Amino acid sequence: MDVRLSPSLLSGTARAPPSKSYTHRAILAAGYADEATVRRPLVSADTRATMRAVEAYGGTVEEEGDDRAVTGFDGRPEVPDDVVDCANSGTTMRLTTGTAALGDGLTVLTGDDSLRSRPQGPLLDAIADLGGRAESTRANGQAPLVVGGAIDGGEVSIPGDVSSQYITALLMAGAVTDEGLRIDLETELKSAPYVDITRELLADFGVETERTDAGFAVPGGQSYARDDPYTVPGDFSSISYLLAMGALAAPDGLRIEGAVPSAQGDTAIVDVLDRMGADVEWDRDAGVLTVWRSALTGVEVSVADTPDLLPTIATLGAVADGDTRITDAEHVRFKETDRVSAMATELEKMGVEVTEERDALTVHGGDSALAGATVDGYHDHRIVMSLAVAGLVAEGETTVQEAEHVDVSFPAFFDVLDELGADLTRLD
């Protein structure tokens, strides 16, 4: 599906979708438990992959209205009867690769073309160092993966600058090993707030973790348990698009509900907009953000801990006066697509001057006039949504290709845009 957008003025109230990051972890934590209910999870292409993985390992996930009732495998997964298809979800693959390492037999994990190009080698090496079997079938550190060996715990070192999801996978699996795990980081940890999310959620399921001088540790012999339902908070990665569209196209203000403070690093988008000069207010107690169309000025932003914000910030920079420089971005190249290159390429199609470096992207908003164009979504939900926001304020019509990929994290994105007053047409 393609979507065509024209310049629009927005107003009204939108609700943030539930957090994808918390949903993945909560569904898998419930899988590690005997049983648990996850209240109002995000149900999207990515999180459905994690739900299927929990079922493959011997659990069940049942729909109860907006909730999901999970009967888990109580700490020790079964060996799946078939290949675990993670589709396009890197989070599913990495987190459940840790689960596979607990099994007595071997599990095969794979995904679509994009996922089979993403790096898994450091996690495989860590599992092998713990005595498990962890191999890439093509010997290139990428899926398909063959994993098993019933690891018992121990000490392992792993780089921290490729993906924080490796640490999350090991922490979640390590809690139910006999010995527990000590994880030493070989390099500085990137995307550290995602590990904070993991530790926060594990504590909510009764699992203890520790921050050590060298990295992290999780004691063994623990059980996942939760008596009352776990409620998934709103997703600040998705809120970033709502804030951006408000700051660019809502003169009378856009109200965003579900913005409850949490460990999510992407809450940084509120500070970024404030630094750029946006008129934005956050009632943290009520979980409500309000933002008005504002004159923006370029700033320098590190995305070392917030890689998912790069596409949003790049779009804001295209409209801001002066330069917006996004730094510490090399790891953003290893997402669903190379998001640094994708945003540079597509914004240039829209008349924006950019400078792309290996670990940085500078958007020269003051030298640009945003114009409508036909732009590629790269099969990537974050690229699609960011370019759609740009289309709200570009002169002329903008057609965003492959727009259906918003289903990965914000399935109702274009419905919300429509309700807020955007001039858009879905093209089959």
Q: Find where tokens 């990295």 sit.
A: 215
- pLDDT score at 190: 86
CATH code matching the domain that covers 20-231, chosen among 1.10.1530.10, 3.40.50.1950, 3.40.718.10, 3.65.10.10: 3.65.10.10
The catalytic residues are 308
- C-alpha distances (whole Å) from 29 to each of 37, 206, 230, 265, 370 are 10, 10, 10, 21, 44
Give the Cα separation of 401 and 380 in Å (integer). Answer: 10
Q: Which residues are annotated as a binding site?
A: 20-21, 25, 90, 118, 163-165, 191, 308, 335, 339, 382
Q: Is 308 helix (H, G, I), strand (E, B) or coil?
A: helix
Name which of 336, 341, 381 is nearest 360 in CA terms: 341
Give ∠ CA 317-318-320 in degrees, rounded to 5: 55
pLDDT digits (tens, 9 = 90+) for 186-207: 999 988 999 999 999 999 999 9
The predicted model scores a pTM of: 0.85
- Residue 55 and residue 88 in contact, taking contact as beta carbons nearer than 8 Å: no
Fold of 2-17+234-427: UDP-n-acetylglucosamine1-carboxyvinyl-transferase; Chain (3.65.10)
pLDDT digits (tens, 9 = 90+) for 77-94: 999 999 999 999 999 999
Name which of 42, 94, 102 is nearest 72 in CA terms: 102
Q: Which residues make up the CATH 3.65.10.10 domain(s) of the chain?
A: 2-17+234-427, 20-231
Report the run of H or E that residue 319 belongs to, with start and end: helix 310-319
- pLDDT score at 263: 87
pLDDT digits (tens, 9 = 90+) for 94-142: 999 999 999 999 999 999 999 999 999 999 999 999 999 999 999 999 9
- pLDDT score at 250: 98
pLDDT digits (tens, 9 = 90+) for 219-274: 999 999 999 999 999 999 999 999 999 999 999 999 999 998 988 999 999 999 99
Residue 69 burial (C-beta neighbours within 10 Å; 0-12, 13-18, 19+): middle
pLDDT digits (tens, 9 = 90+) for 342-391: 999 999 999 999 999 999 999 999 988 999 999 999 999 999 999 999 99
Q: Which residues are annotated as a binding site for phosphoenolpyruvate?
A: 20, 90, 118, 165, 339, 382
Give the Cα separation of 169 and 97 in Å (integer). Answer: 7
- C-alpha distances (whole Å) from 217 to each of 87, 158, 296 are 30, 13, 43
Q: How many CB atoms lie within 10 A of CB 167?
A: 27
Name which of 236, 132, 145, 250 is nearest 194 in CA terms: 236
Torsion region of 49: left, alpha or beta (phi above 0 gives left; psi -120 to 50 gives alpha): alpha
Name which of 293, 284, 315 is nearest 247 in CA terms: 293
pLDDT digits (tens, 9 = 90+) for 272-312: 999 999 999 999 999 999 999 999 999 999 999 999 999 99
What does the pLDDT average to over 164-169? 97
Q: Which residues are annotated as a binding site for 3-phosphoshikimate?
A: 20-21, 25, 163-165, 191, 308, 335
Q: What is the 3-state secondary structure (H, E, C) of 207-248?
A: CCCEECCCEEEECCCCCCCCCCCEECCECHHHHHHHHHHHHH
